[in-house]
Structure 1
Amino acid sequence: MYKIKLSSGKYKFFDKYQGVDGKWRQVSCTMNSTSRESKKIAQNTLELKIKEKLGKNKSSSKLKKVTVNEVYAESSKIRKAELAETTFLNETYGLKDFIATFGERIISDIETLEMQEYLFSKEYSNKTRHTLKLRISKVFEYAYQMGITEFNIMDRVILPKDKKTLESIAKRNQKFFTLNEMRLLLNSMRKNAYDDEQLLFADCVEFLFLTGLRIGEAMALQWSHVDVLNATMYIEYSWNANLRKLGPTKNAQSIRYVFLNQRCLEILDRLRKRNLNSNFVFVKSNGFQISNQAINLYMKMEGARANLFGKDSSIFSAHMLRHSHITQMAALGVPQKALMERVGHSDSRITNNIYTHVLPESRQEMNLKLNNIVI
C-alpha cells in the first residue's frame, strides 16, 4: 500500500492486485490524514475492494457461457408453474421474437441500451411495449437472482408513460354499452337472426352482459354448475380455446358463485332445451364451444347493422360486455367488495380505474341534484 498527498490536503491510498487474467490493477481510497487509525481503515477498505473486484471477475469469467436460451429455459419452468396454462402460452408466444433475436447471445453481455432500442425497433403500441418489457424482465430477473448477471438490465429501460389524448379518452368511453344501447343491439341481433345458431350468439351476448363473465368462463360453464332453484352458478373453470379443454380460472378469486337474475334463468332454460346432449351450456349445433374470435366478429357485424349512435362497431368485443356489466353495477351503487367478488377481481384498482365509467343515467341524476341546490 502506498499514498500520495492531494492538493486538498487529504491523502489517497493505493494498493495493487493481480486479476484472474494475470494483469495488474489497482484500487484506491481517500482519507483525511495519515494517522495510524486512518491507515488501518484505508488498508481494510482496499482489501475489501480487491476482494469485490476479484469476486466479480471470477463470476463474470464463469458466467460467459450462459446464453439467453439457457436462462429462458430455466425461468420458463418457474413461469409455467405459477401461471394459468393459457396465460403461459400467451407469454411464450409474446417472447417468440425476443428469443429469436437474442437467444444465442450471452445474457451477461447484453446491455440496457440494446433492450431499449429493441423495444422501439418495431411498431408496437405503448401498451404492448410495457407488456413486452415486463415479460422480458422476468427472464433477466431470473438471471440476476441466480447470480448470472450483476443486475436486471430491464430495470433501467425507460418507456414513455401513457398520455391521455382526446382520442384515447374517446376510445375508452366507447368500450361499454348503456342499457338502452344493449336493448337496441339485442333487438337488432334477434330481428336479423336467420337460424338457431344466430339466436345462440345473441343469447350469449345478453348472458355475458347480465353476468359479467369472461368469455372463457362462459364457454366452460357446465349444467352441473348451474343451480336453477337457488338462481346461482358456480364458476370453477375457464375454457382453453387453443387446447380445446377446461383449464383453471384467471386467478383464485375468479372461483366464485354468481347470482342469476330472472332473465338469465330464461336464457338458460331456452339453451337447455336446445342442447339436450351436451354437458356444456354454450355449444353450437356441432357440439363445439363458441370461440372468442367468433363472438367478437359477430358483435362487430351486428354492431355495424344496428348502427348505434356514437359507437364504433369495429371495436366491439365480448370483453366489452364484462366491461359494461361492471359499469352498470357500479352505477347501481353495488359496494366495491361485492362487485369484485361477483366478477372475480383480485385488485380493486382494476375495478376502479379500468371498468367504472360515468353513465348518462348517472349524469342525469347528478344534474337533477345540482338543480336542487339553493343558496
Structure 2
Amino acid sequence: MEDHEEFEEILYDWDVHNGPAIYSQLLYSVVLEEWADDHALRVMASTMYNYRRGLPRLIEFFEGKSVQDVTAEMVIACRDKFIVELKVESSVKLYCKLMSLSLQYAQQKGYIYYNPIAGITLTKHTRARVKPFLEWEIPKLLSQECPQWVTDAIVIAFYSGMRKGEIFALKWADIDLDIGFIMVQDAISTASSKAEIKCPKTPTGIRRVDTGVVLKNYLRAMERRARKVGSPYVFPASERGKYPYRIPWNLAKTIKEMCFKAGIEPRDFRSLRHSHATVLLAHGVHPKVVQERLGHSDYDITMEVYSYVTPTIQREAIDVMDDLHVFPVAWVA
C-alpha cells in the first residue's frame, strides 16, 4: 500500500516550470518513435514511409535530449543544419514537419507544458509548381506505343482528374456506366516494395466523379475487354502474384519515355491530373466544382495550386465587360 501511495505521489508531482515530473526525462527520440507509431494509423503507408526515413537524422541531432529540454532555438538550429547539408527545400520541409507534428503530439499527451515552436514559421510557404500537359499534347502522348493499361490510365486520369493510386484501386463495382459516374472510395498506397489498398488521403477524397460521353464510352470498351479476364479490378494484375490488382511501379518512367518520343516536355503521371484541372478552369468551370472533382480537402488548396490559370479567366472576364456596350461608341472608339 505504501509503495502504491508513493507511486501516486510521483505521478502527480508537477514541476511548475517543466511539466509533469514523471515525464521530465523522457527522451525526444522516444517521443518521435511513439508519435510515428501513432501517426501511422492516420495516414497512407507511402506518406509514413517517407516520414520514417527522416526519423534517424532527427534522432541523431537530438540524441540524449529529453523532450522537456527541446527549445525553439534547438529546432531552428536543426533546420538550419539540414538547409546547409541537404540543399533541397522539400527535404528540409519534411524534417520541419516531423518536428512540428511530434512536438504537437508531445503537448497533447501531456509530455510538455507547451509547444516551443508554436506560432513559429520554420519554412517559407511556396506555391506548388505544376506542369500540366497542354490540350494539344494529350493526343501526341496517346499516339506513342505503350502497354494498353498505360493508355487506359492516361485516358482516365485526363478525363477524371483522379490520382494514380485511386485509378489503380478501381473496381468495376465503383463505376456506373448507365448514369455515368465513378465512386472514388479506395487508393493504392505504395511504400518501399509493399502495396496496400486504403481509403483516400482525406475524407473529401471519397467522392463521386461524373463521367462525360467520351470517358463513359471508353470505359465501356475497357469493360468489354475486361470480361475475358474476369477480375473485379479495372486494372487487374497481369499475372498471378502477390496482389490481385496492378501495381504501376514503372509508370512514371514509361510516361517520360513517351514524352521524349512525342517530342514534348517530359512530365509525370500526376501532370495529367493537373491538366484536367487547368483545362476545366481555363474553360470557365467554377473552382468549387474543380475542387470537388479533385477531392481537395480545402477550396483554398485548389485556388493556390492553380492560381496561374487566373490570367486566362480574367481575359474572359474582360471580354464579357467589353461586350456590355454601356458607354457611347465615341467613348471607346
Range 204-213 or range 349-358, more displaced: 349-358
Give the Å deviation of 1:283.
Answer: 3.2
| Residue 97 (str. 1) matches residue 97 (str. 2) | no
Q: Does 1:203 align with 2:159?
A: no
Change (3 A) 1:259 1:61: closer
Aligned length: 303
1:253 to 183, 197, 204: 204
Contact 2:189-2:195 at 8 Å conserved across structures: yes
2:98 is the alignment partner of 1:135: yes
For structure 1, which segment, 250-259 or 147-156, has the greater mean C-alpha deviation from structure 2 after superposition? 147-156
Q: Percent identity?
A: 22
2:185 equivalent to 1:236? yes
Report if the CA contact (8 A) 2:181-2:211 is conserved.
yes
Cα distance change on mapping 1:118 and 1:360 into 2, 3 Å: closer
Q: Which residue is equivalent to 2:114?
A: 151
Q: Which digits, 9 at most, give the CA deviation of each residue in 1:275-313, with x for residues without a partner?
A: 3232111235226645454221111111111112xx3x1
**Cα distance change on mapping 1:158 and 1:343 into 2, 3 Å:** closer
The answer as to 2:251 corresponding to 1:301 is no
| Distance of aligned partners of 1:96 and 1:238 in 2 relative to their CA distance in 1, 3 Å threshold | farther
Q: Which residue does 2:293 correspond to in 1? A: 342
Pairing of 1:280-299 with structure 2 (within 5 A): 280-286=233-239, 289-299=245-255
CA distance in 2 between counterparts of 1:65 and 1:260 reads 57
| Alignment partner of 1:120 is 2:72 | no
Tell me if the contact between 2:187 and 2:199 (Cα under 8 Å) persists in the aligned partners: yes
Q: Counterpart of 2:111 in 1: which secondary structure?
A: coil
1:110 corresponds to which of 47, 56, 70: 70
Whether the 8 Å contact between 1:327 and 1:356 is mirrored in structure 2 is no
2:299 and 2:313 map into 1 onto residues whose CA distance is 21
Query: Over aligned residues, Cα RMSD in angstroms?
Result: 3.2
Counterparts in 2 of 1:297 and 1:107: CA distance versus 1, 3 Å: same
Larger radius of gyration: 1
Within 5 Å, which residues of 2 pair with 1:151-170? Answer: 151-155=114-118, 159-161=122-124
Structure 1: any 5+ residue segments left out of the alignment? Answer: 1-53
- TM-score under structure 2 length normalisation: 0.78
Partner Cα separation in structure 2 for residue 157 and residue 346 of structure 1: 24
Q: Which residue of 1 aligns with 2:39?
A: 79
Contact 2:175–2:183 under 8 Å retained in 1? yes
TM-score normalized by the length of structure 1: 0.70
> CA separation in 2, counterparts of 1:65 and 1:283?
52
Q: Structure 2: where are the runs of 5+ without partners? A: 1-13, 326-331
Q: Is the 8 A contact 2:170 2:234 kept in 1?
A: yes
